[in-house]
Homo-oligomer: A and B are copies of this chain.
Amino acid sequence: MGDGGTEAKNLVLSSRMRGPGGTRPIVVKLGGSVITDKSRKFCVRREVLKRLAEELAATGEPLVVVHGGGSFGHPLASEYGLRSGLRERSQLIGVSLTHRAMEQLNGYVIEALQGAGLPAVAIQPSACAVMERGRIAYMEIRAFKEFLGLGLVPVSYGDVVPDLARGVSILSGDQLVVYLAQKLNAKRVVIGVDVGGVYTGDPKVDKEAKLIREITPEDWEKMEKSIGGARGPDVTGGMANKIRELLELAKCGIEAQVVDATRPGVVKRAILGEPGMGTRIISR
């Protein structure tokens, strides 16, 4: 083949020919409480992952997948106090263990996607992002663009990332979704959670809690206090934090839907653009 030859160039050029905007992907978040059992450490829900992988594959859309930490990353990040940065050398092994746990969960996600025929490739946030006081200060996203342009499915995840002020920070899957959706000019964002959407209270404990169909930046202030949280330990802040991130995205004109990923078919339909299945986060 020598240097790759003409044919190789053809596939590369065809990906370049999509123009300067490139492929507009749909960014899909698979919540940690959907794909793992948060009540049991290192417990992945293989059947759920398999079903979700098949739903993603069935859409035929260009996708970027982000998943949360669930019962893999969160317990270790809490145990070693990583949320508030590095204070002592004894935390270093915690950084090592937390990242490794996230890679293990990521491995299950990748293999499920491969099983459904999707050419999924992990992209490690801590290899390409630098944070400052808990926010992404810089992220090299060429790998996402290049892989996406070739027809691969980048799969990223919440991670423990270098932080210029704190040593390390926890990058939540939610912050990552919003960052990537903006930088990759996403067509839309689908957030798969383990409840029907965003409620006026915690639907898991409050029978009176009502599903909110739509949230705009203007609504948010009066709503914020009553929003229900996600179940189990979550070092990244639960549902209210999720919505704050998504409102930032809405302000940029990228709509998000928070939907129940535990119900078969819902994530697929949301990816394909069907409205009204959970909570829309939009800006008017």
Contacts and interface: CB of A to CB of B under 8 A. Distances in A.
B124 A96 contact: no
Nearest to A9: B165
A110 interface: yes
B128 A128 contact: yes
Contacts of A110: 96, 100
B124 A122 contact: yes
A245 to B, nearest CB: 18
Copies of this chain assembled into the complex: 2
A5 interface: yes
A121 interface: yes
Nearest to A114: B96
Interface in A124-182: 124-128, 130, 133-134, 138, 140, 142-143, 146-147, 150-152, 162-168
Contacts of A85: 1, 4-5, 8, 12
A162 B142 contact: yes
A103 interface: yes
A118 B89 CA distance: 11
B127 A12 contact: no
A150 B130 contact: no
Contact of A150 (B12, B143, B168): B168
Interface of A: 1-5, 7-12, 15, 81, 83-89, 92-93, 95-97, 99-100, 103-104, 107, 110-111, 114, 117-128, 130, 133-134, 138, 140, 142-143, 146-147, 150-152, 162-168
Closest 3 CB pairs of A and B: A1-B84, A146-B162, A8-B85
